[in-house]
């Protein structure tokens, strides 16, 4: 005997989620309703992101499937991120694998990706084969989005975590992009040191850690209890890695190339000021979120100052 979606067991699960689910503002795709549909699909053996699950009718569940659903709901209510339960996360229309070895891609990072993609397309339209590097690449979401959208681009991703890079390679294979992105293990820009890389990069992207070390213990358990802490820890003041990127990126960027970084709430103004004080950058832009906060910083490498 099977149970259809929408029946009494479904309504019971929805009430449990409505009563106890704590939804964080950085996961706007999740509601009790969307979570239930996605978890139902997962209990049925389907691997779908929240968004993908909304586009299909969930199949009926047998008794074993209903037990799996109850267990999944319990794990979600205990704080386990929905993306990890589903093993999928949607990012810039890519259906990605999601695992605790890498940060779950968020809407703020999509803002970064969209801004960087515009600049990469402009570079490709100029007739070249532009070079794009994504550092702190995590699951590979940004690098893969660039590679899929701009076939002419030469794309590289780098991360300090070997586990994150393993997931990035799996995502590349799943999307059929394994020949389009080259992966590098190392600390920030270290994998691209040397004359071979100097002045060659058109777009350098990063969604780096930017939470101060002292704040990590105050973050919701859903975040710090399950996602890798190294993906959040930006040092004593939260801006240490951002400042390193601002200092080091001009060595890699060609004249007219862009550094594109995600910044934390309240950090954009100070980071933009630092970039404007650096003569190696000749233009600095900020991208605002829907609340008017600066969440993405874009800085262009000035002409005639290579080697800074």
Instruction: Say if 73 falls within a structural domain.
Output: yes
Q: Could you list the residue range(s) of the whole structural domain that residue 123 is in?
A: 107-301
Among 86, 121, 136, the domain boundary falls at 86
For residues 307 and 284, the answer to whether their CB atoms sit within 8 Å is: no
Measured torsion, CA atoms of residues 32, 38, 41, 45, in degrees rounded to the nearest 10? -130
Q: pLDDT tens for residues 236-263?
A: 778 899 999 999 999 999 999 999 999 9
For residues 33 and 94, the answer to whether their CB atoms sit within 8 Å is: no
Residues 211 and 131 in one domain: yes
Instruction: Say if 162 falls within a structural domain.
Output: yes
Confidence of residue 190 (pLDDT cuts 50, 70, 90): very high
The predicted pLDDT at position 38 comes to 98
Classified as helix, coil or strand, 191 is helix
Give the domain CATH number at 289: 3.40.50.150
Query: How far is residue 162's CA from residue 84's CA, in Å, rounded to a whole number?
Result: 19
For residues 124 and 136, the answer to whether their CB atoms sit within 8 Å is: no
Classified as helix, coil or strand, 90 is strand
Buried/exposed code over 209-239 (b: 16+ C-beta within 10 A; e: otherwise): bbbbbeeeeeeeebbbeebbeebbbbbeebb
Instruction: Say if 66 falls within a structural domain.
Output: yes
Residues 118 and 260 in one domain: yes
Residues 127 and 275 in one domain: yes
Instruction: Say if 92 falls within a structural domain.
Output: no
Pairing of strands 154-159, 181-185: parallel
Residues 74 and 209 in one domain: no
Give the domain CATH number at 73: 1.10.8
Residues 163 and 41 in one domain: no
Instruction: Say if 1 falls within a structural domain.
Output: no
Residues 151 and 196 in one domain: yes
Q: Is 38 exposed, middle or buried (0-12, 13-18, 19+ CB in 10 A)?
A: buried
Residues 115 and 82 in one domain: no
Our measurement of the distance from residue 30's CA atom to the centroid of its chain's CA atoms, rounded to an integer in Å, reads 16
Q: pLDDT tens for residues 44-94?
A: 999 999 999 999 999 999 999 999 999 999 999 999 999 999 999 999 999
The predicted pLDDT at position 307 comes to 47
Higher local confidence (pLDDT), 209 or 172: 172
Residues 81 and 139 in one domain: no
Among 57, 86, 115, the domain boundary falls at 86
Instruction: Say if 138 falls within a structural domain.
Output: yes
What is the mean predicted confidence (pLDDT) over 132-141?
97
Hey, CA dihedral for 43, 45, 47, 49, is it positive or negative? negative
Instruction: Say if 116 falls within a structural domain.
Output: yes
Residues 140 and 264 in one domain: yes
Query: How far is residue 300's CA from residue 204's CA, in Å, rounded to a whole number?
Result: 10
Residues 120 and 13 in one domain: no
Classified as helix, coil or strand, 190 is helix
Q: Is the predicted pLDDT of residue 306 greater than 70, yes or no?
A: no
């Amino acid at each position: 005997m099977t149970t259809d979606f929408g029946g009494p067991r479904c309504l019971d699960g929805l009430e449990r989620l409505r009563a106890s689910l704590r939804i964080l503002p950085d996961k706007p795709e999740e509601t009790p309703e969307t979570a239930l549909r996605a978890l139902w699909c997962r209990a049925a053996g389907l691997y779908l992101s929240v968004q993908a699950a909304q586009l299909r009718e969930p199949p009926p569940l047998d008794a074993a499937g209903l037990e799996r659903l109850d267990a999944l709901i319990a794990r979600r209510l205990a704080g386990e991120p929905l993306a990890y339960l589903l093993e999928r996360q949607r990012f810039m229309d890519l259906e990605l694998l999601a695992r605790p070895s890498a940060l779950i891609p968020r809407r703020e990072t999509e803002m970064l990706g969209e801004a960087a993609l515009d600049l990469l397309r402009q570079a490709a339209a100029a007739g070249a084969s532009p070079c794009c590097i994504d550092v702190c690449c995590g699951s590979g979401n940004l690098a893969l989005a660039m590679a899929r959208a701009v076939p002419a681009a030469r794309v590289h991703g780098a991360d300090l975590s070997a586990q994150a890079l393993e997931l990035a390679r799996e995502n590349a294979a799943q999307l059929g992009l394994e020949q389009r992105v080259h992966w590098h293990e190392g600390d920030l820009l270290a994998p691209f040191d040397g004359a071979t890389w100097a002045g060659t990069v058109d777009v350098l992207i990063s969604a780096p850690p930017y939470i101060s070390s002292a704040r990590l213990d105050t973050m919701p358990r859903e975040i710090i209890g399950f996602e890798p802490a190294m993906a959040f820890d930006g040092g004593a003041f939260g801006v240490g890695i951002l400042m390193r990127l601002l200092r080091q990126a001009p060595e890699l960027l060609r004249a007219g190339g862009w550094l594109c970084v995600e910044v934390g709430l309240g950090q954009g103004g100070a980071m933009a000021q630092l970039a404007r004080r650096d003569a190696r950058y000749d233009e600095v832009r900020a991208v605002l979120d829907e609340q008017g906060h600066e969440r993405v910083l874009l800085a262009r490498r000035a002409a005639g100052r290579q080697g800074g």
